[in-house]
């Protein structure tokens, strides 16, 4: 029986394939440049998210005057889930293919998607206009406990993203495939790691990051409530796509594994 390839092994295989390619080919240079842009923006977006929520969205670059600030913040909140869902549909995928340099649009689609999503998150967490109101700030031992919970939630999110396929979640699949001049091969339906406990560990882990912050403000509460609702509802669309792709395999997995809350006791097989 052939052992299953882990996400890290897949990513390393792609990286080694890039390194083995002879230099001087235009598609290799394009791929590496595209990947560098993707990962720099991705890293900046993650750092902005961690820092902004750590301070309860009370520290940001947005300076829109009231009462327009809440309208601007609402637009920042809405733009990510709307575009995130649209780009995952059939029309959105065709749009992604047209945005990348021709004729490599289809190969670079996943990297293009990661760039757009990272830019959206970067805009949300850097351009937010703070209300200036701080309700609560953890101190002393409670600050240490809260920070540990916040770090733990982010580690869960990293682990869930790894289990789902590191090359897809980071945007590496597209540009590494182009560098090797091969067709992108997506990882199989994730069922191991955190996906063996619940079907949507990425969304649940992200929701946990929203509620474990050491500073609470009206801004953070609005963010937490709106994006928790998104994390609970949006995966329904994702599961429709999985059902269309994997059919009975996903149906069996869905019947066996809970949606968002792990079971304390495993039901006996019938």
Cα 3 to Cα 6, 9, 108, 161, 255, distances in angstroms:
9, 12, 29, 21, 25
What b-and-e string marks burial along 136-152, b requiring 16 or more CB atoms within 10 Å of the CB? eebeeeeeeebeebbee
pLDDT of res. 2: 46
pLDDT category of residue 1 using cuts at 50, 70 and 90: very low
Helix, strand or coil for residue 16? helix
How confident is the model over 173-198, as pLDDT tens digits?
A: 999 999 988 898 888 899 999 999 99
User: 40-54, 87-101, 121-135, 207-221 — which is least confidently predicted?
Assistant: 87-101
Q: How much is the average pLDDT of 228-251?
A: 91
Taking the model in full, what pTM does it have?
Answer: 0.86
pLDDT of res. 269: 52
pLDDT of res. 17: 54
133 touches 116 (CB < 8 A): no
């Amino acid at each position: 029986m052939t052992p299953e390839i882990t996400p890290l092994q897949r990513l390393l295989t792609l990286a080694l394939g890039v390194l083995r390619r002879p230099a001087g080919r235009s598609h290799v240079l394009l791929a590496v440049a595209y990947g560098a842009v993707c990962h720099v923006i991705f890293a900046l977006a993650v750092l902005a998210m961690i820092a902004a929520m750590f301070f309860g969205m009370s520290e940001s670059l947005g300076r829109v005057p009231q009462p327009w600030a809440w309208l601007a913040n609402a637009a920042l909140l809405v733009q990510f889930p709307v575009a995130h869902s649209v780009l995952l549909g059939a029309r959105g995928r065709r749009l992604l293919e047209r945005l990348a340099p021709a004729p490599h649009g289809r190969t670079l689609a996943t990297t293009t998607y990661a760039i757009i999503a990272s830019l959206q998150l970067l805009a949300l967490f850097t351009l937010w206009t703070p209300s200036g109101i701080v309700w609560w700030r953890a101190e002393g031992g409670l600050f240490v406990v809260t920070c540990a919970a916040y770090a733990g939630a982010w580690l869960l999110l990293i682990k869930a993203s790894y289990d789902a396929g590191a090359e897809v979640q980071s945007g590496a699949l597209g540009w590494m495939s182009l560098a090797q001049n091969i067709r992108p091969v997506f990882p199989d339906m994730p069922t191991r790691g955190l996906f063996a406990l619940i079907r949507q560990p990425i969304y649940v882990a992200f929701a946990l990051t929203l509620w474990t912050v050491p500073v609470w403000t009206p801004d953070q509460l609005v963010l937490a409530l709106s994006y928790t609702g998104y994390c609970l509802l949006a995966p329904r669309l994702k599961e429709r796509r999985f059902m269309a792709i994997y059919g009975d395999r996903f149906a069996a997995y869905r019947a066996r594994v809970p949606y968002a809350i792990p079971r304390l006791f495993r039901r006996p097989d019938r």
